[in-house]
Structure 1
Amino acid sequence: MNTTFKALVTGVVMTLGTSATAAECIAPANPGGGWDFTCRQIGKILFDIGEVDSPVQVTNMAGAGGGLAFSHVVTERSNDADLIVAASSATTTRLAQNAYGGATADQVRFVGAIGADPGVIVVAADSPFMTLNDLVDAALADPGSVAFAGGSAVGGFDHLKPLQILKAAGLEDITQIKYIGVDGGADAITQTVGGFTQAMTGDMSEIVGFIEAGEVRVLAVLTEERVPGFEDIPTAREQGYDVVAVNWRGLYVPKDISDEEFQVWADRLAAVAASDEWQQAMRDNGLAPFTKVGADFQTWIDGVVASTEELSREIGVIQ
């Protein structure tokens, strides 16, 4: 690992500290984004339903699009059975694209996912773009005039969402579209509401509070059907773009914990998925049911990483 990057990891670890007794969930981004949501909701419910004996400590560790937290787990906490880390489609996308400086998906164990977060395309409330077609038309006319902010690195899952839409709209050179990658959806919303970008590409859970506050307008949700509780938001498909992009929400754990310890976390996550509290959390935050835990999830992840790597090569994100 790069010496400077390792020093940065060590510095963050010394600053944040660790918990020797209570379970800890690392959110690899700043407060307010999707990974933060995953840690705080799952952590709270784990305690509320009695799956853990004390509240789960949440540690925000933003940096390198999740790479800082990943390296911390691999190098410093590889056998910590009390540690879970928020993960999503962005995690596997970055690993598939070698965005974490040589880190690979098999350096941790993916324990499960219990919800799918619909992708969204969002503009500020005062934006001149009233529909997805308005935004697409502007990008087709002048690709450089429309910039997107997202919570993933360049070439990551958030970046790929608008590129898929514009490719479906007939834009031949999708590399002309500007994209600004920041640490988490909250930062991406700030960029867009502040007028630094024309649109935000992210997930439904990241924007619910901004919708309620009247700060944003959602032009499209990237699901097959409209999301329950948000029926007024049209899908991209309805507007002529056959693009579906959902972001699973789940956890990974250190690689060197035992199979028994891995199964404990799988069982705990399954209990959260089955709880009334999680069903309500999904309804409140626009998540769709998506439950895969344990060994089956790890096998599925292996396939996702392989297919993402293949797609990324096709569009030139990696060589």
Structure 2
Amino acid sequence: MSFARLGAAAFAAAAVFAAPAVGQSRIDDPECVAPANPGGGFDLTCRVAQTGLAPHVDEPIQVTFMPGGIGAVAYNLFNTTRTEDGSAIVAFSTGSLLNIVTGKYGAFTEKDVRWVGTAGADFGAVVVRADSDYRELGQLMDDFSADPASVVVGAGGSVGSQDWMKGALLLREAGASPMAMRYVAFDGGGDAIAALLGGSIEVYMGDVGEMVSHLESGQMRILAVMAPERLEAPFAEIPTAMELGYDVEWTILRGFYMGGGASDAEYQAWVDAFQAAYATPEFAAVQKERGLLPLNLAGAELQASIEQRVQTLREIAAEAGLIAN
């Protein structure tokens, strides 16, 4: 299976909505853990839960940060000392699933946690500073083709992460080896954005959803989004890599898991809250504000989706040489 097919499959699934629930869920001291520093995609994901679930839980959701290993510290903690914590959910993305597949989260697998609900879908974005010499994607692709190491690329993930894969896809499309990419890894999107603005890197392989506030400030410019088709406002004027002639696409599922030892009742309370939120226009408004497509899955539906996605990612990782066939 090609890299682009994963994005297409995820985008197609965005029409699926969970069934509504009613009432408020009783969750004591609800917490959303963003497993990175503030300012990146995990932060964005938790803010969706904090705002979007507010009418459906009877206490405010607190957002806390747990950086380390692009989610590895949190995944290990919620598989050990906090595995029975029913009050907390942890943000994840397609990149987290990729890290599980490639062994970056240790011996724990996708079967060791409980997958709760989604915040929506996001898309890869090729981002530069507003004053960059790169005015369009074609210029960057020309440099990738001529001399990949001449461009300093950075993102919130190590080699083999989904952010690295975004750059790898571009290099491959430019006829260069992904391993020739001059790549700088950061512990989260916030750190990578700071490096871009500070001039330490030239191109940031990020996610379009986290760009809303930065675009409004005029500090950065998106050369292209890795979506299957044009997005709605505020990204409607940004071309897709596909329409510019490059067969590159990356769709990011954003959502939440909790410790595998949480009780059925605790798990269901969170699932009910998400299902209730999905049925409201207010939650859709929160997703749109954060630049997310309303890909709404919770409980058993999400569990089945995760199993399928992990299998697809294993095929992709093998194709990229990240794991053995």
TM-score of the two chains, using structure 2 as the length reference: 0.87
Query: Tell me, what secondary structure is at the counterpart of 1:291?
Result: coil
Output the amino acid matched with 1:170.
G
2:113 alignment partner, one of 105, 108, 114: 108
Instruction: Note if contact 2:122-2:252 (Cα within 8 Å) is conserved in structure 1.
Output: yes
The reply to whether residue 286 of structure 1 matches residue 291 of structure 2 is yes
Q: For residue 137 of structure 1, what is the aligned residue in structure 2?
A: 142
Q: What do the CA deviations read for 1:256-305 (whole angstroms, capped 9, x no partner)?
A: 12333322211211222233232122222221121111112112111211
Output the amino acid matched with 1:141.
A
Unaligned runs of 5+ in 2: 1-26
Q: For residue 225 of structure 1, what is the aligned residue in structure 2?
A: 229
Q: What do the CA deviations read for 1:192-230 (whole angstroms, capped 9, x no partner)?
A: 122111100111122111111111110001111111101
Q: For residue 148 of structure 1, what is the aligned residue in structure 2?
A: 153
For residues 271 and 176 of structure 1, the distance between their equivalents in structure 2, rounded to whole angstroms, comes to 47
For residues 63 and 290 of structure 1, the distance between their equivalents in structure 2, rounded to whole angstroms, comes to 27
CA shift, 1:41, in A, is 2.4
Query: Tell me, what secondary structure is at the counterpart of 2:116?
Result: strand
CA shift, 1:82, in A, is 1.0
Instruction: Note if contact 1:118-1:288 (Cα within 8 Å) is conserved in structure 2.
Output: no
Output the amino acid matched with 2:31.
E
Query: Tell me, what secondary structure is at the counterpart of 2:187?
Result: coil
Divergent runs of 4+, >6 A: none
Output the amino acid matched with 1:56.
I
2:43 alignment partner, one of 36, 43, 47: 36
For residues 45 and 30 of structure 2, the distance between their equivalents in structure 1, rounded to whole angstroms, comes to 15
CA shift, 1:27, in A, is 0.5
For residues 288 and 104 of structure 1, the distance between their equivalents in structure 2, rounded to whole angstroms, comes to 27
Q: How does 1:1-319 map onto structure 2 within 5 Å?
A: 21-47=28-54, 49=55, 51-171=56-176, 173-229=177-233, 230-319=235-324
Instruction: Note if contact 1:186-1:206 (Cα within 8 Å) is conserved in structure 2.
Output: no
Q: Percent identity?
A: 40
Between the two structures, name the one with larger relative contact order (CA 8 Å, sep ≥ 6): 2
Instruction: Note if contact 1:118-1:286 (Cα within 8 Å) is conserved in structure 2.
Output: no
Instruction: Note if contact 2:32-2:49 (Cα within 8 Å) is conserved in structure 1.
Output: no
For residues 183 and 276 of structure 1, the distance between their equivalents in structure 2, rounded to whole angstroms, comes to 34
Unaligned runs of 5+ in 1: 1-19
Query: Tell me, what secondary structure is at the counterpart of 2:115?
Result: strand
Instruction: Note if contact 1:120-1:204 (Cα within 8 Å) is conserved in structure 2.
Output: yes
CA shift, 1:97, in A, is 0.7
CA shift, 1:62, in A, is 0.5
Instruction: Note if contact 1:204-1:285 (Cα within 8 Å) is conserved in structure 2.
Output: no
For residues 274 and 175 of structure 1, the distance between their equivalents in structure 2, rounded to whole angstroms, comes to 44
Between 1:217-226 and 1:105-114, the stretch displaced more is: 105-114
Q: For residue 5 of structure 1, what is the aligned residue in structure 2?
A: none
For residues 227 and 47 of structure 2, the distance between their equivalents in structure 1, rounded to whole angstroms, comes to 25
Q: What do the CA deviations read for 1:132-176 (whole angstroms, capped 9, x no partner)?
A: 1111111111110112211122211111112112212322x2100
Between 1:183-192 and 1:85-94, the stretch displaced more is: 183-192
Query: Tell me, what secondary structure is at the counterpart of 2:168?
Result: helix
Output the amino acid matched with 2:209.
S
Query: Tell me, what secondary structure is at the counterpart of 2:114?
Result: strand
CA shift, 1:44, in A, is 2.6
TM-score of the two chains, using structure 1 as the length reference: 0.89
